[in-house]
Structures are given as structure tokens and as C-alpha cells.
Amino acid sequence: MIVCKFGGSSVADAAQLRKIKQIIDSNPNRTIVIVSAPGKRRSDDEKVTDMLYGCAALVDQGKPCKPIFEKVVERYSTILDDLKIDRTEFDPLFRRIEAEINEGAGSHYAASRGEYLSAKVVAAFFGWEFLDTQDLITIENDGTVASSSYEKIARAIDPKKRYVVPGFYGSDSEGIIKTFSRGGSDITASVFARAVDADVYENWTDVSGIYAIDPRLTDKAKVIQELTYQEIRALAGVGANVFHEEAIAPLYHLSIPINVKNTNDPTAEGTWIRATRDYTNTPLAGVSAKAGYTRIVVQKLLLLKKVGIRQGMLTMLHVFGIHPTFTSSGIDSLAWYFDSSQANEQIVTALCVRLKDEFELDEVTVTTDIAITGVVGEGSSRLEGLTSKATGALAEEGIELMFLSVGSSPNTLLLGVPQNKQKEAAIALYSALF
């Protein structure tokens, strides 16, 4: 059994849906299809999910969502008409969804209706059964999937039937619709793949696999033939956005392989993601970079010799809503790197005052506009001279090295650079190491 997920670009219009049908019809083992909401058809287009979030925002302002929701209806209506699908079922659906958004159903409900309607359309086009994830996937308060979800899905699936499933959402413990983070349809597909113990999970997108560097940065970017679960999580953690990093967890213990493929070029091999790989000849997998980090550095004589101080300071960061992504330490110093969106300047300033006062610190400094670049590969720790080559490549381009982490992860070398040098750093590292 193959579980397939088609992203927003793959379901953007009727022409793309016809491509999906050809892909599905070419292999009878493709029996479960998870779909996203329609994405952009061209660069100046809007994603349906963004429009639906806009609908919820209007209602929050005390305004009806009709001006934006009509554009959502138009988008689906165009697809239905192009595919010659009877709209008898859909027109009442549009009106019901609009009414529920206007009645204050909330942003989770509004955003989820993109995938819901997308799955309804595809199910009608294929003549397959529609299966609603609201009834099957329970999302915990921390965003993880409740273990009971797998049993519910397994019971709902008849191996002799074929299903279309909306991605991106499930429900909370009370049965109220709850969405994953953006890109969460990848998670939905992983959950279904685990529940049915799929042979393969195919992730269909608009590129022919995962690239060793963002192909928009250089025409020398190459598709990675094979990655491990750990490598894709590491790449996603520092900016690669082809595959949701949280989608690995459901597949991990069953070692279900993932094949990232291109809807527009279905015969291309794409990228395989597996539990392990032979990295003898390809120790490195790729380079990625992510901007928007802030650094807080605290200094105090004999800082790390004081029992409990590290945990105490980390607890204070959490109280202020800051959860560091990376940490580094010196003899008498400690540095935290976190996503700048977690706290504005006022919150960071207040935190620094509290840290200095409560822990009697000598100095607390803040640096913003940092990008973290990652060189990822299962064989990176065994690659002689990797660190010197990487730092040398940055130095040659005159790029300041703000942060270096070696050994904290067995498959990743992390380098912090000024945010305005993010692209140059990624290109320099790729050119020197690949």
C-alpha cells in the first residue's frame, strides 16, 4: 500500500488535478491520497489557506468574511467547472462554511476548510471515498498526535477501498477542529502511513526531490538521491522547506521510506528518505540556512560551576516565552539562540534585566538579525577538515562567523552568520564542500 500526499502546488487548479489522476491511475497500490489546500497558480496568486486565515481575521474585527470568502468560492468553483464536477453538493457546503466562520468558529476551523474542500473536490473527481480527519486524528495541546489516532485510522480503512483525505487538521480532545503548523499535511500523511503500515509514503510537490542547496541560490544545486530521517530533520530545522520536520516522527519506528517526487515530472526518481543510508561516498547531504534568530549572551565569573544556575536561567527564558533552538557555552559564558518571532524588543529587554538582577550576572548582551547555516550529513563527523574548510570558505568571502557548533549533533555543523549574509554563506559553503 502506498500513501500519497499532494501539496498546494499539485492541487492548485484543474490541470494539476488531472496530472494527479494520471499518477494515481498508473499504480493501483496508491490507495490513500492526502491533499493540501490549493496553492499559488502563479507568483502573484494567493494561497487558499492565506485567504481563509484572512476570513477569520475579518470576523475577529467584527466584519463579515464575505469579501474574501467569495474569492475562495470562486477558486473552487473554477476547478469544479473545469473538471465538469456537479456542484449540487458544493454550493451548500460553501454557504455553510461561510456561515460558521462568520459565527466565530475561529482560525483553526477557517484554515482547515481549504484542505476539507480540496479533499471533497478530489474525491468527487476520482470517485473515491472521502475520509474526514476531524474524526480520526486527535492533536494534543503540544501539537503532537495522540496515539489513539493510529488505531482509529486503522479501523476506518478498508484495504479494498481507496480514499481521499484532507491534510493539515484533526481535532482536540473535545472534538473541536485543530490544525497543525503550516505545512502540516505532511504530518497527516505520515500518520496515515504509520496507521496502515504503508510500504511507501510518496510526498508529491513541484520539485524533483530535495536539493543539496536551495536551487534559487545557484544553478549548480543538485537533487539529493537519498537522505536519512535524521538528515531531513536537520535540514528542515535550518530552513529547508520541502518536507515538514515533524512528519518524520510517526514513521520512525516502522522505518517507512519516503519518496519526495514531482507532480510535473512523475518519472523522475526524486529523493528517498530512509532510516539509514550508505554514506561512504556521499558523507554530506546538503546545506541550508535560516534567518531571524536573536542571541542572548550572559557572562559571570565561574558561571557554569554554580549548581542549578543554567536550569534556573533557562526556566526564566521559558517564563518570558522564549525557547532556545541552539545553545553554546564558554568558560564563563552561556549563549542562547532563539527565533526572533518569539519575543519583541521590550520582552527581551525585560528578560535581560531580570536575568542580570536575579543571577547577579556581570554582563548580558543581545544580538539580533542572525542566520544559522547548517552543513548536514551522516558522515560529517568523520570528514577530515570539514570545520576548517567551512570556516575558511566564509572567511574567504569576508563573512563574519558569529557562532560555531561542532559535535553537539553528530550529523550537523552549525555556523551563525549575519542575516544579511545568509545567502552568500550558504553558497560559499556549498561551493567549498560539495
> 72 and 198: one domain?
yes
The verdict on residue 408 lying in a domain is yes
> 330 and 199: one domain?
no
Question: Considering 159, 184, 206, which residue would you say is the last residue of a domain?
Answer: 206
> 308 and 178: one domain?
no
> 31 and 164: one domain?
yes
pLDDT at 236: 87
> 170 and 42: one domain?
yes
Q: What is the pLDDT of residues 309-344, one digit of tens each?
A: 999 999 999 999 999 988 888 899 999 999 999 999
CB 165 within 8 A of CB 157: no
Domain count, the chain: 2
The verdict on residue 53 lying in a domain is yes
> 76 and 175: one domain?
yes
Q: How many CB atoms lie within 10 A of CB 70?
A: 14
Q: What is the pLDDT of residues 159-211, one digit of tens each?
A: 999 999 999 999 999 999 999 988 899 999 999 999 999 999 999 999 999 99
Q: How many CB atoms lie within 10 A of CB 26?
A: 10
The verdict on residue 266 lying in a domain is no
pLDDT at 382: 84
Question: Considering 155, 185, 206, which residue would you say is the last residue of a domain?
Answer: 206
Question: Considering 176, 206, 236, which residue would you say is the last residue of a domain?
Answer: 206
The verdict on residue 354 lying in a domain is yes
Torsion of CA 327, 328, 333, 335, to 10 degrees: -40
The verdict on residue 221 lying in a domain is no
Q: What is the pLDDT of residues 113-125, one digit of tens each?
A: 999 999 999 999 9
> 130 and 23: one domain?
yes
> 202 and 314: one domain?
no
Question: H-helix or E-strand containing 403?
Answer: strand 403-409
Q: What is the pLDDT of residues 214-270, one digit of tens each?
A: 999 999 999 999 999 999 999 988 888 777 878 899 999 899 999 999 999 999 999
CATH number of domain containing 15: 3.40.1160.10
d(CA 65, CA 38): 19
pLDDT classification of 406: cutoffs 50, 70, 90: confident
Q: 164: which DSSP letter? A: E
Task: Report the half-sphere exposure of 314 (CA within 13 A, side-chain side).
Answer: 14
Q: C-alpha cell of 433?
A: 564542500
pLDDT classification of 291: cutoffs 50, 70, 90: very high
pLDDT at 85: 97
pLDDT classification of 407: cutoffs 50, 70, 90: low
Rounded average pLDDT over 349-367? 96
pLDDT at 341: 95
> 84 and 194: one domain?
yes
pLDDT at 410: 83
CB 23 within 8 A of CB 265: no
> 198 and 69: one domain?
yes
d(CA 135, CA 138): 8
The predicted model scores a pTM of 0.89
Structural domain span for residue 344: 286-433
Query: Is residue 409 pLDDT above 90, yes or no?
Result: no
The verdict on residue 222 lying in a domain is no
The verdict on residue 228 lying in a domain is no
d(CA 183, CA 418): 27
d(CA 386, CA 423): 20
Cα torsion 27, 28, 33, 39: sign: positive
Torsion of CA 243, 244, 250, 253, to 10 degrees: 60
CATH number of domain containing 406: 3.30.2130.10
β-pair partners for 266? none
DSSP strand pairing (286-299 vs 333-339):
antiparallel
Q: What is the chain's mean pLDDT, rounded?
A: 95
Please give the full DSSP string across 308-358, using - where no structure is assigned. Answer: THHHHHHHHHHHTT---SEEEE-SSEEEEEEEGGG--HHHHHHHHHHHHHH
d(CA 425, CA 427): 5
Instruction: Name 82's Cβ contacts closer than 8 Å, sequence gap at least 6.
Output: 13, 14, 15
The verdict on residue 182 lying in a domain is yes
> 29 and 172: one domain?
yes
d(CA 9, CA 154): 29
Q: What is the pLDDT of residues 29-80, one digit of tens each?
A: 999 999 999 999 999 999 999 999 999 999 999 999 999 999 999 999 999 9
